[in-house]
Structure 1
Amino acid sequence: MTHEWLDRWREGRIGFHRHDVHPALARHWPRLGVRPGTKVLVPLCGKSLDMRWLAHRDHPVLGIELAEEAIEQFVAEGTADVSRYQQEPFAICRQGSVELWCGDFFHFHIDQAAEIGAFYDRAALIALPPATRQRYAFHLAQLIPPGAKGLLITLARTLGDETAGPPFQVTADEVRELFEPNFQVTHLEDGESEEGSGFRESVWALARRGPSI
């Protein structure tokens, strides 16, 4: 899976990348009530424009991405100065209030996540095969403090093999099975299937369980 993901970026096979801000983010993020200034974690971030949308709304962003090509393209498409530094095992780029950590999400640990107060997952969970999704949900829960909120976007396949991927189909039952042990899970909407896409997206609000929930 890792090699396939890196190959896609090297070869420019990035049909999953949106050239605009995801409408569900713009529609639902304000309703979460995440305070301005709260740092948002974006796992497997690619070069998503959603990170700039969040940054423009006074949210520092910490994106984690395995493909160096994605990070370099993101900063090349921006206008602000770029600073670079290292925090092993990650190489980090900062542009404005967006930090991009190049490396494996599963190597990002709680001591590096001290300032994280929210999260956004549009393309992380659905990029992972079934055997890895349980690990992802548990690791995300370790990084997110009690009371923190986030937005999750999943998809169902309306055409073709339901087990194909990436992106992979993640059903509503699986979302609840993965996240309800550690999060309060609220289904927000099912989107319309775009003509010819073979996908229909679902949007979820997650709140980390704990004293504040």
Structure 2
Amino acid sequence: MAHDWLDRWREGRIGFHRPETHPALVRHWPRLGVRPGTKVLVPLCGKSLDMRWLAQQDHPVLGIELAEEAIEQFVAEGTGDVSRYQQAPFAICRQGSVELWCGDFFHFHIDQAAEIGAFYDRAALIALPAATRQRYAFHLAQLIPPGARGLLITLSRAAGDEAAGPPYHVPGEEVRELFEPNFLVTHLGEGEPEAESGFRESVWALTRRGPMT
């Protein structure tokens, strides 16, 4: 899985990358009520322009990405000085208020997430095969403090058309099964099926359960 992901970036097979901010983020993020200044975790971030939009809303951003090519393209396509440093096992670079950690999301631990207060997932869960999605949901829950909120965007296809990914078909019942043990899950809406792929987008608000909720 990791090798396939790295190959996609090296070979430029990045059809999943959107050349503009995702409209669902612009529409639904304000509904979460995340306070300005709250640091947002973006797992498997690629070079998503959504991170720049979040930064423009006064959110420091911490993106985690396995492919060095994605991170280098992100900073090359941006503006401003880039600072670089290490926090083993991650190589980190910062441009403005966006901090990009190059490495495996599953090696990012709670002591490194001390300032995280929100999260955004547009392309992480749907990039993972079924066996890894449960591990992802559990690891995310470990990193997110009680009361913290996030926005999750998933893709699903009609029954009988769940082709192999990535991106993977993740139906609503699986979203609830994965996250409801640790999050309050609210379905915010869904789009029309895409003519070419047959995928339908769904948007979810997640609030980490705990003493504060």
| TM > 0.5 | yes
What's the offset of the Cα at 1:193?
1.9
What's the offset of the Cα at 1:199?
1.1
| 1:185 equivalenced with 2:185 (yes/no) | yes
Aligned to 1:171: 171
What's the offset of the Cα at 1:167?
0.4
| 1:20 equivalenced with 2:11 (yes/no) | no
| 1:46 equivalenced with 2:41 (yes/no) | no
Deviation string, structure 1 residues 142-178 (Cα, Å, up to 9, x no partner): 0000000000000012598404100000010000000
What's the offset of the Cα at 1:197?
2.9
- Tell me which amino acid in the other structure corresponds to 1:133: R
Aligned to 1:198: 198
Q: Distance in 2 between matches of 1:55 and 1:9?
A: 24
Moved more, 83-92 or 192-201: 192-201
Aligned to 2:76: 76
- Gaps in structure 1 of 5+ consecutive residues: none
Q: Number of residues paired by the alignment?
A: 213
- 8 Å contact from structure 1 (residues 159, 199) kept in 2: no
Q: Secondary structure of 1:211's partner?
A: coil
Aligned to 2:63: 63
Q: Distance in 1 between matches of 2:127 and 2:100?
A: 19
- Which ranges of 4 or more aligned residues in structure 1 deviate by more than 3 Å? 158-161
Q: Secondary structure of 2:184's partner?
A: strand
Q: Distance in 1 between matches of 2:198 and 2:10?
A: 25
Aligned to 1:211: 211
Q: Distance in 2 between matches of 1:59 and 1:185?
A: 23
What's the offset of the Cα at 1:211?
1.3
What's the offset of the Cα at 1:198?
2.0
- 8 Å contact from structure 1 (residues 39, 116) kept in 2: yes
Q: Distance in 1 between matches of 2:38 and 2:26?
A: 17
- 8 Å contact from structure 1 (residues 44, 66) kept in 2: yes
Q: Distance in 2 between matches of 1:160 and 1:35?
A: 42
Aligned to 1:129: 129
Q: Distance in 1 between matches of 2:79 and 2:37?
A: 22
Deviation string, structure 1 residues 21-54 (Cα, Å, up to 9, x no partner): 0000000000100000000000000000000000
Q: Distance in 1 between matches of 2:198 and 2:60?
A: 34
Question: What root-mean-square deviation, in Å, do the aligned CA atoms of Structure 1 and Structure 2 show?
Answer: 1.1
Q: Distance in 2 between matches of 1:201 and 1:175?
A: 13
Q: 1:158 to 1:15 in 2, by over 3 A?
A: farther
Q: Secondary structure of 1:169's partner?
A: coil
- Gaps in structure 2 of 5+ consecutive residues: none
Q: Distance in 2 between matches of 1:27 and 1:159?
A: 28
What's the offset of the Cα at 1:13?
0.2
Q: Secondary structure of 1:75's partner?
A: helix
Q: Secondary structure of 1:53's partner?
A: helix
Q: Distance in 2 between matches of 1:94 and 1:159?
A: 43
- The percent identity for this pair of structures is 86
| 1:104 equivalenced with 2:104 (yes/no) | yes
Q: 1:4 to 1:160 in 2, by over 3 A?
A: farther
What's the offset of the Cα at 1:194?
2.7
Q: Secondary structure of 2:3's partner?
A: helix
Question: Given the two structures, how large is their TM-score scaled by the length of structure 2?
Answer: 0.98
Question: Given the two structures, how large is their TM-score scaled by the length of structure 1?
Answer: 0.98
